[in-house]
Amino acid sequence: MAFLRITTLIAFALLLFVGGLIGYLKSTSLISLFTGILSSILLFISIWASYRSLPWGRPLTLILVILLTLFFGYRFILTGHWMPGGMMCIAGIVTLLCQLSCPCPCAQSSKE
């Protein structure tokens, strides 16, 4: 189950990174490039922290995924376009569900 949690996070982070690049290439939006790269870097830091069982890793992951999902949901409602808002909102919901349904590795190690 931890593999599923990490895999969905990596996929979500890569989608954010690629989405930022596509936003820049299509409309020369530096904001898309900057936020895509920054949010994917923050997610990779949270993945690393969770993997190392640091106590702030999982809360950072949950906060980032929730905020990004809310942002993309807001963008979808605002524009009505499935790309990127709707797709990223669904990807965020799937990622969040995987995060909440899979056990935290640090919780497992503290029980032993």
For the beta carbon of residue 29, count every other beta carbon within 10 angstroms.
15
| pLDDT given at position 109 | 47
| pLDDT given at position 74 | 94
CA pair distance 47, 95, nearest whole angstrom: 13
pLDDT exceeds 70 at position 111: no
59 touches 40 (CB < 8 A): no
pLDDT exceeds 60 at position 15: yes
- Domain boundary assignment for the chain: 2-103
CA pair distance 92, 67, nearest whole angstrom: 9
pLDDT exceeds 90 at position 2: no
| pLDDT given at position 93 | 93
Tell me which residue of 33, 40, 55 sits closest to 91, measured CA to CA.
40
For residue 29, the surrounding DSSP H or E stretch is: none
Going by pLDDT thresholds of 50, 70 and 90, the confidence category of residue 67 is: very high
